[in-house]
Amino acid sequence: MLCWVTDRGVAELLRACPSLRAISLYWNLNVGAETLKALSETCPQLTRVNLSGCKAVTDLGIVQLAQGCPKLTHVDLTRCTRLGDAAYEALAKHCPEIEVLRLYATMPSAHAIQGFHLLRKLRIIDICGAHAASDAAVGSLGACHELREANLTWCVHLSDAGVCTLARGCPKLESLSLHGIRRVTDAAIRALAKSCRESLHTLDTSGCTGIVEHDRARLKQLFPNLRCSVVHS
């Protein structure tokens, strides 16, 4: 973590590290286009990048990063609030190896989320707070059959349709948060039980006022391997 170094300083350091495979620039408010340009030009073997809280990062930098570092497997853009569709489209198009994608509080559009169906190796996705997430967008993630963990907390426009489609496509799902989604009902739980009965071990339905039939005891019957559950009360 280099939270105090300037954009230019990080860029110069990176040019001396062509074999770099992982970097964390957590909450470095100086990091921007110059750093990501250096990564794209000098670190083609990069697999892990943590830009959480790097609020100067924009579409331009992420597009350059995606084009120059196609081997990325872990990408953390938590609270990178200046990103738009161009950044997410570049990651989906140029980085097919991505397994972990953290977009907490970045507010991706429905179009951007829908593009992630190209990431067929995706195991973990966090789009907490993505108010634009639609049923079609989340349902498209059903194409990511290796998905194990999905944080859909406060995706408030999501309903049963999106969750049911996701469940059908992702039978290996282990952890799911539907926290705060009032349009999700018992129908979504039944769909999850049908597709993910053996795999699901963590489920958060706190604030899901539309789920009325499934308390903790009932959830345990439906999901025998459930270890952690939070239900609306």
CATH number of the domain within which 103 lies:
3.80.10.10
Per-residue model confidence as pLDDT tens digits over 159-198: 999 999 999 999 999 999 999 999 999 999 999 999 999 9
Assess if residue 142 is contained within a domain.
yes
Per-residue model confidence as pLDDT tens digits over 89-103: 999 999 999 999 999
pTM of the full structure: 0.95
Assess if residue 2 is contained within a domain.
no
What integer pLDDT is reported at residue 2 of this predicted model?
52
Per-residue model confidence as pLDDT tens digits over 36-82: 999 999 999 999 999 999 999 999 999 999 999 999 999 999 999 99
Instruction: Give me 55's structure tokens.
Output: 């609020």
Assess if residue 82 is contained within a domain.
yes
Q: Which amino acid is at 81?
A: T
> With contact defined as beta carbons under 8 Å apart, do 203 and 226 qualify?
yes
CA–CA separation, 53 and 77 (whole Å): 7
* Range(s) of the domain holding residue 107: 7-231
Looking at the structure of the chain, the number of domains it has is: 1
Q: What is the SS3 string spanning 106-144?
A: CCCCHHHHHHHHHCCCCCEEECCCCCCCCHHHHHHHHHC
Cβ contacts of 106 within 8 Å, gap of 6 or more? 77, 78, 79, 80, 81, 83, 130
What integer pLDDT is reported at residue 97 of this predicted model?
98
Q: Mean pLDDT in the chain?
A: 95
